[in-house]
A = this chain, B = another copy of it.
């Protein structure tokens, strides 16, 4: 979609500079906000003070906020922050909060701004950080200067566990990728980084006790303990807990490369290059397995202070166990009727080990079994049902099933998925056990170049779902704020979710002249994980360098076209602005395609998506025809049916990308009389 065109539309709607009044672009929305009259000009006379408690963590957080506001406004910041209750900006904190941040950390804060001052109050430093983030988001412009609108905010999160999981096992992510994503998480008040550190394809954390884990099991791509500690500290400085995951007993082939004796099959093992469920698993019948796990987790506990420890437990087919007479005999001896019961035995044993190291165990929902003690936390990836079952049976739980980023759903879909929708059938006590949710970034199809655009800005929509009240559900308003937030995240966290698109397109086209290719890219997005896996037969060895890797899931054009079509269909025959805009968009596609096709002639990788360029040209034409027929021209017989068939054909997963506007186009075509 040609963004200059949409912009013209946006400007037409509000062509004057904004007045000095409050425009709410906060994301997530605070639980209570009252807009008041007036505003505080943000200029060089702003002074900053802390009162009562402060520590290095608070001071650093204030400095970060001031640096960001300085960068945004161009107003040099005050550098000395003293104990000054008379300052323009006062940060008033009661105490440090927990030495090791837990579920119970108080993250609430109040922010009160008037035309002369602003005060943030919080019980803890983490609460103050949440308020500082809100402060950054509140600063706005009237076109002449910057100001802070007068507001009263009293804010506290709805859920206590608001996480992002990153799988670094299937593809390693460098330290700076993790750090910038932590910064982005803090920007939207997420508080748990779930670090999926081990997989069949790679064991990504150094163990000094068992050096062959990462040494033989990672292709040399792993975090040193020093780096892991650095990340834990970086997260803590931003009010984020780090919950490491060591997935077991399945997903462990990387462990077995160096330590085949952990399995019931002697091996030898090599690193897995394929994706999907693997047959190998740790041997749950040997005491030496538990001794190994005990020592290893003890070592990891020195790096990861969080009270929770994720031990995976998913996708263990038990094939190796069934094939080993010794294991079968063990099962018989213990009266286990199937390998699930053997896995529950394993879960019970590792839960005990976790407890010994002072940790609560979290596991994927396969571990849920009548024999499992209720101090395990159930992480639901197979459906909300398991979460509610668990809650009814006394387990705490976390929801991830609707939040898989590699399903390539829209921000809207993620946004509307509530961990505790109305009529969920849970009692109030049971509901309390639903701790929150986690967005999951699985690693099969992402590398350091593409990961940011898969995570952001869509994860911000989930962050609001988990922080804000259940009735904050206006999708158009969410997209309005998400557009602002997306820019803000790139600016403050240094993520590359917007700029990588251009970089990727330049690489594919071999030129800086990518205006037409950008237009093409704005109309498509990646296919789902499953479709790519099927179509491309991906493995760890697959280069991630195609158009699918450059384009963004749910690009802004999708919702923009959706809104324009909705406007159009209110008065399909009127000569509306929406009609003009849609026509311009279709025309921009028509214009772009020949340029893109010429570039495809020179780029084998880009050329793989050629059928999509051809389809886009036809769909653009269909769109313009539809506009004509909607305005009163008579559509020829069979036109509607054949056009709907064309749209249906264009829905098929193909060339790893799919169109983002088909629902809107279909709606238009169906509206033709």
Listed in ascending order, the chain A residues whose CB lies under 8 Å from chain B are: 2-4, 6-8, 10-11, 15-18, 70-76, 79, 141, 143-146, 176, 483-484, 486-487, 490-491, 496, 498-500, 502-503, 506-507, 510-516, 541-543, 545-546, 556, 595, 598, 601-605, 607
Q: Which of B4, B73, B507 contacts A516 (CB 8 A)?
A: B4
| Contact between A143 and B604, CB atoms less than 8 A apart | yes
Inter-chain contacts of A486 with B (CB < 8 A): 512
| Contact between A141 and B603, CB atoms less than 8 A apart | yes
Inter-chain contacts of A490 with B (CB < 8 A): 503, 506-507
| Contact between B598 and A15, CB atoms less than 8 A apart | yes
* CB-defined A-B contacts under 8 Å, sample of 29: A3-B512, A3-B514, A3-B515, A4-B513, A4-B515, A7-B595, A11-B595, A18-B602, A70-B545, A71-B545, A72-B545, A73-B604, A74-B543, A74-B545, A74-B605, A76-B542, A76-B543, A79-B541, A141-B604, A143-B604, A143-B607, A144-B604, A483-B511, A490-B503, A490-B507, A491-B507, A498-B502, A499-B500, A499-B503
Q: Which of B484, B514, B601 contacts A16 (CB 8 A)?
A: B601
In chain B, what residue has the closest Cβ to A510? B487
* Nearest CB of B to A208, in Å: 18
| Contact between A7 and B511, CB atoms less than 8 A apart | yes
**How many copies are assembled?**
2
Inter-chain contacts of A176 with B (CB < 8 A): 176
| Contact between A74 and B511, CB atoms less than 8 A apart | no
* Nearest CB of B to A598, in Å: 5
| Contact between B145 and A604, CB atoms less than 8 A apart | yes
Task: Tell me the complex Cα distance, A6–B512, Å.
Answer: 10
| Contact between B503 and A498, CB atoms less than 8 A apart | yes
Q: With A16-B601, A487-B506, A487-B510 given, is the CB distance from A595 to B143 under 8 Å?
A: no
Q: With A74-B545, A499-B503, A605-B74 given, is the CB distance from A8 to B512 under 8 Å?
A: no
Q: With A487-B506, A604-B143 given, is the CB distance from A71 to B543 under 8 Å?
A: yes
* Nearest CB of B to A414, in Å: 20
Inter-chain contacts of A16 with B (CB < 8 A): 601
Inter-chain contacts of A500 with B (CB < 8 A): 499
Inter-chain contacts of A6 with B (CB < 8 A): 513
In chain B, what residue has the closest Cβ to A175? B176
Inter-chain contacts of A143 with B (CB < 8 A): 601-604, 607
| Contact between B7 and A604, CB atoms less than 8 A apart | no
| Contact between A546 and B74, CB atoms less than 8 A apart | yes
| Contact between A17 and B601, CB atoms less than 8 A apart | yes
Task: Tell me the complex Cα distance, A2–B4, Å.
Answer: 13
* Nearest CB of B to A605, in Å: 5
Inter-chain contacts of A496 with B (CB < 8 A): 499
Inter-chain contacts of A512 with B (CB < 8 A): 3, 483, 486-487, 498, 556
Given A3-B512, A7-B515, 6 extra CB contacts under 8 A: A11-B595, A74-B545, A74-B546, A490-B503, A498-B512, A499-B500
Inter-chain contacts of A542 with B (CB < 8 A): 76
* Nearest CB of B to A479, in Å: 12
Inter-chain contacts of A543 with B (CB < 8 A): 70-71, 74-76
| Contact between B74 and A8, CB atoms less than 8 A apart | no
Residue of A487, A512, A515 contacting most chain B CB atoms (<10 Å): A512
Inter-chain contacts of A515 with B (CB < 8 A): 2-4, 7, 515
Inter-chain contacts of A603 with B (CB < 8 A): 141, 143
Task: Tell me the complex Cα distance, A512–B560, Å.
Answer: 13
Inter-chain contacts of A74 with B (CB < 8 A): 543, 545-546, 604-605
* Nearest CB of B to A410, in Å: 17
Task: Tell me the complex Cα distance, A555–B649, Å.
Answer: 43
In chain B, what residue has the closest Cβ to A17? B601
Task: Tell me the complex Cα distance, A10–B510, Å.
Answer: 13
Inter-chain contacts of A10 with B (CB < 8 A): 511, 513
| Contact between B7 and A516, CB atoms less than 8 A apart | yes
In chain B, what residue has the closest Cβ to A514? B3
* Nearest CB of B to A564, in Å: 15
In chain B, what residue has the closest Cβ to A487? B506
Inter-chain contacts of A4 with B (CB < 8 A): 513, 515-516, 595
Inter-chain contacts of A513 with B (CB < 8 A): 3-4, 6-7, 10
Q: Which of B79, B498, B556, B598 contacts A11 (CB 8 A)?
A: B598
